[in-house]
Every structure is written in structure tokens, then in C-alpha cells.
Amino acid sequence: MRKYLVILALFMVTGNVYSYNFMNKFTVHGYAGIGIPIGDMPDMFPEDRGIALGGENGFNLTGFFSFGLTKNILTMLGISNASYKINKAGNRTIDPHVQKVYDKILAIKGIVRYYLTLPNRPLMPYLQGGGGLYMVSTEVKNVGQGTKDKATHNSVGLSFGAGFHVQPRKKLGIDLNLNFDLVFTTTDYNDINTKIFTISLGPVLVF
């Protein structure tokens, strides 16, 4: 990630940047990054985070608005040292063990983006918002006990974010995106909403 940020900074300070040429054009985005759960999820599984991959087909309108359809997948692994109280013949016992949770979220979202104009600047910040369908798959393994639980469900959610766009070439741009997803989910283990913060970076092809 640090390497990509350095490349982005170099594009910002070099010349021949096409700040606005990608408007009124079709675009294809590709990106990779990291997803970091917040709220209840990291409380249960502190190490729960993972790689986010995705893409977007969009159209950039004159007036600095754009809209698009995104598809991304996020896979995460979390580990928790847990102690559960179990009733056995009326007696309470403590059963300490380690749990591993594997989360996979496939999202298909509609996104509207607004680009902020900065005169004589190659960097274009933007705001975005949208929502869509989130297909959530969760698998919990109880290490040492040999048991495993799985749950899969479809949910709707909202997406908000911001980012920066650089257009170093007429047909090529680069996006750095910060996004927050709020997915209205319930699981077999907790009645919670899934909240994930994603940082991603990738190329934008202009057609």
C-alpha cells in the first residue's frame, strides 16, 4: 500500500495531468485494499480484517457527477479466545477454547459520486454514496473441539465514502478510495449490524 501511495504522490506533482478529460466518458475501475470491521465485530474477534478486491463500471457526467455499478468481495479472518459457561446436570463449568471466524462479503452496489473541482490542481477529491445487496457468508470454527458452524444470508446496506482521483494520462486515472459500509445483518450469534471501513487503491480506464 505504501508503494502505491508514493506513486500517487508522484503523479500529483508531475505535469501533463488531464484533470477533467475523463468527464462525459465511460470508465472501468479496478481496486484492491483492506477491509477493517468496526463496532461489535472487532469486539468479538479482534483480529478480524482482510483483503478487499473489486471493480466498477461507471459513467462520468458533465457537471462532475458520476454513477456506476460496483462489485466487490471482502474476505476476513478473526480469532477470539473465548470462555463459555455450559450447563451440565445443573452444574456450571467453564469451557475455554479458541474460535476462528471466516467472513466473506460479496457486495453489488449502485454508487453516485460527486467530484470537487480544484483550479489548477491535478488532484480531484470526491464524495460518494449509494447502497445495494450484500451476500454475507460466515463460518466459525471451534479450535480443539472439532466443531464448525456456518451461516449464509443476503442483506441490504448503505455505502458512504470519499476519495481522490488523479488523471495522469488521457485514458488512465488512479483512484484512492475510503469507504464505509453499513450492512443490516443479523447472525446466529449476535443481533448486530455489520460495519466495515475499506481503504482501496486502483486504476481507472477511460473510454
C-alpha distances in Å from residue 193, one per residue of 10, 39, 135, 156: 39, 9, 14, 11
Domain definitions of the chain by residue range? 23-112+130-158+181-206
What per-residue confidence (pLDDT) applies to 88? Answer: 46
pTM: 0.75
Q: What average pLDDT score do residues 161-187 get?
A: 87
Q: What's the CATH architecture for 23-112+130-158+181-206?
A: Beta Barrel (2.40)
**CA separation for the pair 72, 168 (Å, rounded):** 25
pLDDT the model gives residue 20: 52
Three-class secondary structure assignment of 110-124: EEEEEECCCCCCCEE
**Does residue 97 carry a pLDDT above 70?**
no
Per-residue pLDDT reduced to its tens digit, 195-204: 889 999 999 9
56 confidence band (pLDDT: 50, 70, 90): very high
Q: What is the pLDDT of residue 95?
A: 52
Quote the pLDDT of residue 145.
Answer: 65
Least confident span in 30-44, 120-134, 163-177: 30-44
Instruction: Check residues 181 and 147 and name the one with the higher pLDDT.
Output: 181
Range of weakest confidence among 30-39, 59-68, 84-93, 194-203: 84-93
- Please check the confidence at residue 43 and state whether its pLDDT lies above 90: no
Inform me whether the pLDDT recorded for 18 exceeds 70: no
**How far apart are alpha carbons 184 and 194 in whole angstroms?**
6
What count of Cα atoms within 13 Å lies in the side-chain half-sphere of residue 207?
7
Q: Which three cell numbers stand for residue 74?
A: 471482502
What is the number of residues in the chain?
A: 207
CA distance 110 to 107: 10
Q: What is the mean pLDDT of the chain?
A: 76
Mean pLDDT of 5-22: 48
